[in-house]
A and B are shown apart, each in its own frame.
Chain A
């Protein structure tokens, strides 16, 4: 069946910039490299900095 399918919902454009936690969800929370809620690598639970040296594990897989 060939019809439009949203496979992954995009992050909403409207965020409350006065709510730090909401913006931090986009910007990676309180870590330097973890892209919380955004990035996943292979096993969907670990995120890593682009050079791969540091990883963080408690980033939730983006909810769809």
Chain B
């Protein structure tokens, strides 16, 4: 039998006689008596060793754990079974949120019929070998609902099998839109919120400054009355609105209790992290602030239903995936939503029917974490995946890398609290 050694992916926190260990590759979470933990990997208890090998806390000294994660990572990249297409039928928007990453890239008007037909032909061809998933995006996609409907109808007429979702600000989900949603094959509608009432309206208002929250809630009400489409509320959380997620949760629980209970409404949070060149308003959460927020939520019973959980395996985002494309209203093709509307960052155009393989390859392997010594020796690599490729490119060569996951510094300190809230039994 080969020698067993401790996994490099164990994140460990010891407090007195108790030690918590989370393995970021296998997602196993174990509490040990500290004395027992300290005795590892030298243990005579074969049953214990076998169990810890199964959980990935111990590994056979001859295996390469990084290779296993690398295998997962690249299997995902080269999965040819599914084509994910994000389509912006318009890049224009009826809101003027100050933090919008599309910034000045929203000048493109509605998609022309030529581009629309090119996209339809492309999807018909791809559907012969791949499962098609469409994400309607923008600008505000519902400003060009006629295009969404037209493309969907053409795919339906050709008996193309696909599923779709919409990412919208929710303000245009009016009667005439709702009654036509059934032909879109929607799995869900994602609506972005920034909080409740004035807090939401502070940033997410119409271009003329008019508040939008009440309109959105009325639209949600109509949507719930007339369809069974799932609604996902994605709530932005930053330093100016730390409680927005909680506030939206309780507001929706009060206003739409049945939909929340049946999970027709689900609520997620989008924590606005202090990414490279992203913090234009000084409201993004630094790693320390993110840790403090998570810790506060884990300590407070009121957050029981939505406090942070153990982080899962991180797999490459669309930037590295050849079979995930974003197409803007002029037909330019991108590999990152943040690039949309900026043709200089495109990899091709749908009208050409081709993309640059050089650009594709350079994006797939851009600042590859598996070529980075620091990443290769990091115990949170499987839950970080090297993080955002754009940030890695921007910070290349810098000594202090802001893209490193905050889990690298703080996950261990969160483990006892995750245990307390989810697993500790009252004595």
Contact = CB atoms under 8 A, between A and B. Distances in A.
Contacts of A55: 190, 232, 234, 268
A35 to B, nearest CB: 5
B72 interface: yes
B315 A27 contact: yes
Contact of A38 (B51, B308, B313, B317): B313
Contact of B306 (A5, A9, A35, A43): A43
B315 A10 contact: no
Contact of B17 (A2, A54, A58, A62): A2
B176 to A, nearest CB: 26
Interface centre among A2, A42, A46 (most CB of B within 10 A): A42
Interface in A9-61: 9-13, 20, 23-24, 26-28, 30-33, 35, 38-58
A5 B72 contact: no
B81 interface: yes
Interface string B344-362: 0000000000000000000
Contact of A50 (B27, B81, B317): B317
A49 B160 CA distance: 27
B423 interface: yes
A13 B26 CA distance: 8
A43 B312 CA distance: 14
A42 B30 contact: no
A23 B75 contact: yes
Contacts of B423: 5, 7
Contact of B82 (A30, A53, A62): A30
Given A3-B33, A51-B317, A57 B81 contact: no
Interface in B377-397: 385, 387-388
Contacts of A31: 82, 84, 133
Contacts of A44: 309
Contact of A45 (B167, B266, B310, B387): B266
Nearest to B245: A42
Given A27-B76, A30-B82, A55-B234, A42 B28 contact: no
A64 to B, nearest CB: 9
A35 B313 contact: yes
B72 A27 contact: yes
Contacts of B230: 57
B307 A42 contact: yes
Nearest to B32: A4
B91 interface: no
B31 interface: yes
Contacts of A45: 263, 266
B146 interface: no
A11 B72 CA distance: 13
The 9 closest A-B pairs by CB, nearest first: A39-B312, A10-B28, A10-B26, A38-B312, A46-B268, A52-B270, A8-B29, A42-B306, A7-B29
22 contacts: A3-B33, A6-B55, A10-B28, A28-B76, A28-B315, A33-B317, A33-B318, A38-B27, A43-B249, A43-B267, A44-B309, A45-B263, A46-B268, A47-B312, A49-B318, A51-B388, A52-B271, A52-B272, A53-B270, A53-B337, A55-B268, A58-B187
Given A10-B54, A46-B232, 18 more contacts: A2-B18, A3-B33, A5-B30, A6-B29, A6-B30, A10-B27, A10-B56, A11-B27, A12-B54, A13-B26, A32-B84, A35-B312, A39-B311, A41-B268, A42-B268, A50-B317, A54-B135, A62-B312
